[in-house]
């Protein structure tokens, strides 16, 4: 089956087309991503209304280009999938309405995709990973450890109680005047830096459970920056390197603990750890996770860089996975700002943020 996917939940306008064969293997036929970086840059972050308008302006052409690149007309796809949450509601409405309109015009089924599930299932497209596996989801709005039991079947073992990891990167970058999005900028600045120069805290580490906290770390970076001001380029590099090494250590430690629990609970001898979400692009974090997975007798699967950030291919693939189970949605499927993967997970005590960027 061939599925078109549409992604508009944040500041990337994207579409992709994948083919899923009956044996469960997938092939990417095309993918187009238009980042709206310049539109949001003056504000130092994503402005929801600007994002929604940009999606309106860009999406038709992005879908056209995606179809052309795959050598297909829109009525040659078997289904249309669109991100219906979680995310910024205006953008979600643009993508969902476009997807539903194409579904209606072509008479094909529509699939309402959870953006987080799409990140989670990408490793099955790229690496044929089998259920169950452990997932570390690290993006601009989420930092979660989940067990993926199957399509639509997630169990949350840990989450951030305050900032998401991507957000911590973005805030660190903003503080140091490195621009938005902060992750790639911090990673680049860290290249020539001394990771041992600033001792930063590792909140919650050493405590039981698999939750994360990054807000205190952000404050520590600010205090260190103020103490060292005025900052030379070397100071900035050292701070970025110290920050990056600290967060890599935090996620690797939690991943190691989660892998041990996963082995015990599932009886899996060589567990697979999948890292997904925009922060999965970070090489220092990948290296630390790789080492943690190896120590646990397992392996790390990290999607190729273009599939780490938001993209339409992952939405198409998630749609195909649902369609293969005979699942599709009505044209009345709602868009949702919040849509947790594990609906049964208890809310995190002390979590002060609701409806955050995802």
Residue 166 interface partner, choices ligand KG4, Zn ion, none, CB cut-off 5-8 Å depending on type: ligand KG4
Task: Indicate the Cα dihedral angle 252, 254, 260, 264, nearest 10°.
Answer: -150
85 binds ligand KG4 (CB under 6 A): no
172 binds ligand KG4 (CB under 6 A): no
Cis preceding linkage at 230, omega within 30: yes
140 binds ligand KG4 (CB under 6 A): yes
Selected from 2, 3, 6, 10, the binder of ligand KG4 by CB under 6 A is 10
Question: Given the complex with Zn ion, which of 235 and 310 has the nearer CB atom?
Answer: 310
In the shown chain, the binding pattern of residues 251 to 280 toward ligand KG4, with x for contact by CB under 6 A and - for none, equals --------------------------xxx-
Contact residues toward Zn ion (CB under 5 A) are 139, 310
In the shown chain, the binding pattern of residues 304 to 333 toward ligand KG4, with x for contact by CB under 6 A and - for none, equals -----xx-----------------------
Q: Identify the residue whose tokens are 């219906």.
A: 84
- C-alpha of 352 from chain center: 21
Q: Residue 239: how many CA atoms within 13 Å on its side-chain side?
A: 31
Residue 162 interface partner, choices ligand KG4, Zn ion, none, CB cut-off 5-8 Å depending on type: none
Distance of closest approach, residue 191 Cβ to ligand KG4, in angstroms: 11
122 and 303 Cβ atoms separated by less than 8 Å:
yes
Question: Given the complex with ligand KG4, which of 166 and 203 has the nearer CB atom?
Answer: 166
Sequence-distant (≥ 6) Cβ neighbours of residue 54 within 8 angstroms = 11, 13, 36, 39
Distance of closest approach, residue 169 Cβ to ligand KG4, in angstroms: 4
91 binds ligand KG4 (CB under 6 A): no
- Residue 73 burial by Cβ neighbours in a 10 Å radius (0-12, 13-18, 19+): exposed
Enumerate long-range contacts of 224-230, CB under 8 Å, 24 or more apart.
224/198, 224/200, 225/175, 225/176
279 and 285 Cβ atoms separated by less than 8 Å:
yes
Which spans of this chain sit near ligand KG4 (rule: CB under 6 A)? 10, 139-141, 166, 169-170, 181-184, 187, 277-279, 281-282, 309-310, 358
């Amino acid at each position: 089956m061939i599925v078109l996917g549409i992604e508009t939940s944040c500041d990337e306008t994207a579409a992709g087309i994948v083919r899923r064969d009956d044996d469960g293997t997938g092939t990417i036929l095309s993918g187009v991503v238009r980042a709206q970086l310049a539109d949001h840059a003056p504000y130092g972050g994503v402005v929801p209304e600007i994002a929604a308008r940009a999606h309106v302006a860009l999406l038709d052409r992005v879908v056209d280009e995606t179809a052309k690149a795959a050598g297909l007309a829109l009525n040659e796809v078997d289904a249309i999938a669109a991100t219906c949450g979680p995310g910024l509601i205006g953008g979600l409405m643009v993508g969902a309405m476009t997807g539903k309109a194409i579904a209606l015009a072509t008479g094909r089924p529509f699939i309402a995709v959870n953006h987080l599930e799409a990140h989670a299932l990408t490793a099955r497209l790229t690496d044929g990973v089998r259920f169950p596996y452990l997932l570390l989801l690290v993006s601009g709005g989420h930092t979660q450890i989940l067990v993926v039991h199957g399509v639509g079947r997630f169990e949350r073992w840990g989450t951030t109680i305050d900032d998401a990891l991507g957000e911590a990167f973005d805030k660190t970058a903003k503080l140091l005047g490195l621009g938005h999005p902060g992750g790639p900028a911090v990673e680049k600045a860290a290249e020539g830096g001394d990771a041992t120069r600033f001792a930063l805290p590792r909140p919650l580490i050493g405590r039981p459970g698999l939750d994360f906290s990054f807000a205190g770390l952000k404050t520590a970076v600010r205090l260190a920056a103020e103490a060292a001001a005025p900052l030379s380029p070397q100071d900035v590099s050292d701070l970025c390197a110290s920050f990056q090494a600290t967060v890599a250590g935090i996620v690797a430690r939690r991943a190691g603990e989660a892998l041990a629990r996963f082995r015990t609970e599932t009886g899996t001898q060589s567990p697979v750890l999948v890292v997904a979400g925009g922060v999965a692009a970070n090489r220092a974090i990948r290296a630390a996770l790789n080492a943690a997975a190896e120590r646990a007798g397992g392996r790390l699967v990290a999607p190729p860089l273009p599939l780490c950030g938001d993209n339409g291919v992952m939405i198409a693939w998630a749609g195909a996975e649902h369609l293969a189970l005979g699942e599709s949605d009505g044209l009345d499927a709602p868009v949702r700002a919040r849509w947790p993967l594990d609906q049964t997970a208890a809310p995190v005590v002390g979590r002060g943020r609701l409806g955050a960027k995802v």
